[in-house]
């Protein structure tokens, strides 16, 4: 059932992860990210996604500290960047993220991009998980062959794969692979970097429900059992992105959106190992 922003999906280890979260990529440290996170908490968001690359972990910490929501009720995600990968390097990167975030643990820690060192990075992730420093571990931007290589050596399989997922980039085989292996799919760029407004089908479907194209895109992902983390620093849009629990897309409308797939990426190819 999808009835509330408090709805969760169960990860392979039993941890409950919110179905909807706030993305913070390019939300600048200081006022932007602090206002965004504070607004999100006010509107009921309990999942906040960041990364060491984003440079805003300290701002997120400040917003959480002043937001009046207990840390135990917040699902906090961060990621290890490419130049932090490797066993020892990852452990040090994790400690830096914890310090900036002002927390003693993370709910989810992710490998930001597949790299040659990812297997060593994953050993560090497994150690952090075994020690209870993270409640769940996963990856970002991993395609099937990346996941296969990781599963071949992992003692603890990844619980989440966060990758670019929106109406123009659906990767159904990757989603099916994740489902078959008990890996929850989390969508970044669910609003197509703002270009959902350019898709007539989303506009038309939204008009039938009194909803925006962005709300239709988020609802579509949720009905596919994906986790969505739309990003905005504007209070109105943060609220809008969460207002998706009072309507449901029909099977025909879901099929219409499925037909929009054109394999179009706004971000890098995963085999290129990310940005920078």
Residue from 54, 129, 163, 177 carrying the catalytic annotation: 54
What confidence score (pLDDT) does residue 233 get? 86
Chunk the chain into consecutive blocks of 10 residues (it has 276) and report each block's average pLDDT, rounded to whole numbers. Answer: 92 98 86 92 97 96 94 98 97 98 98 97 98 98 98 98 98 98 98 97 98 98 98 92 97 98 96 70
CA 56 to chain centre: 16
Q: Residues 199, 169: contact at Cβ < 8 Å?
A: no
Per-residue confidence (pLDDT) for residue 245, from 0 to 100: 97
Tally of CB atoms within 10 A around 16? 14
Q: What is the pLDDT of residue 232?
A: 87
* 177 flagged as catalytic: no
The pLDDT value given to residue 275? 60
**Distance of alpha carbon 118 from its chain centroid, rounded?**
19
Give yes or no for a contact between 168 and 191, defined as CB atoms under 8 angstroms apart. Answer: no
Helix ranges, 152-199 (H): 172-180
63 C-beta neighbours (distance < 10 Å), count: 22
* CA angle 52–55–59, rounded 5-degree value: 110
Answer yes or no: pTM beyond 0.75.
yes
How far is Cα 259 from Cα 200, in angstroms, rounded to an integer? Answer: 13
Cα 142 to Cα 146, 148, 188, 253, 265, distances in angstroms: 5, 9, 13, 28, 14
Q: What is the pLDDT of residue 65?
A: 95
């Amino acid at each position: 059932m999808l009835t509330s922003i408090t709805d969760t999906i169960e990860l392979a280890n039993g941890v409950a992860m919110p179905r909807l979260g706030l993305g913070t990529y390019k939300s600048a440290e200081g006022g932007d990210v602090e206002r965004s996170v504070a607004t999100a908490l006010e509107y009921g968001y309990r999942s906040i996604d960041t990364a060491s690359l984003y440079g805003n972990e300290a701002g997120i910490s400040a917003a959480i500290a002043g937001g009046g929501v207990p840390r135990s009720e917040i699902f906090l995600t961060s990621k290890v960047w490419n130049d932090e990968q490797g066993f020892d390097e990852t452990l040090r990167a994790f400690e830096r993220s914890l310090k900036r975030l002002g927390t003693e643990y993370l709910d989810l820690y992710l490998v930001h991009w597949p790299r040659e060192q990812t297997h060593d990075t994953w050993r560090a992730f497994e150690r952090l998980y075994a020690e209870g420093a993270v409640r769940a571990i996963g990856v970002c931007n991993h395609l099937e062959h990346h996941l296969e290589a990781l599963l071949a050596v992992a003692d603890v399989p990844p619980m989440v794969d966060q990758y670019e997922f929106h109406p123009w980039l659906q990767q159904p085989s990757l989603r099916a692979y994740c489902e078959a292996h008990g890996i929850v799919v989390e969508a970044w760029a669910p609003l197509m970097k703002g270009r959902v407004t350019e898709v007539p089908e989303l506009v038309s479907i939204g008009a039938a429900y009194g909803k925006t194209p962005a709300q239709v895109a988020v609802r579509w992902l949720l009905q596919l059992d994906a986790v969505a983390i739309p990003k905005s620093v504007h209070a109105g849009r943060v609220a809008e992105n969460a207002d998706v629990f009072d309507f449901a897309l029909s099977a025909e409308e879901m099929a219409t959106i499925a037909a929009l797939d054109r394999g179009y990426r706004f971000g890098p190819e995963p085999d290129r190992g990310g940005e920078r």
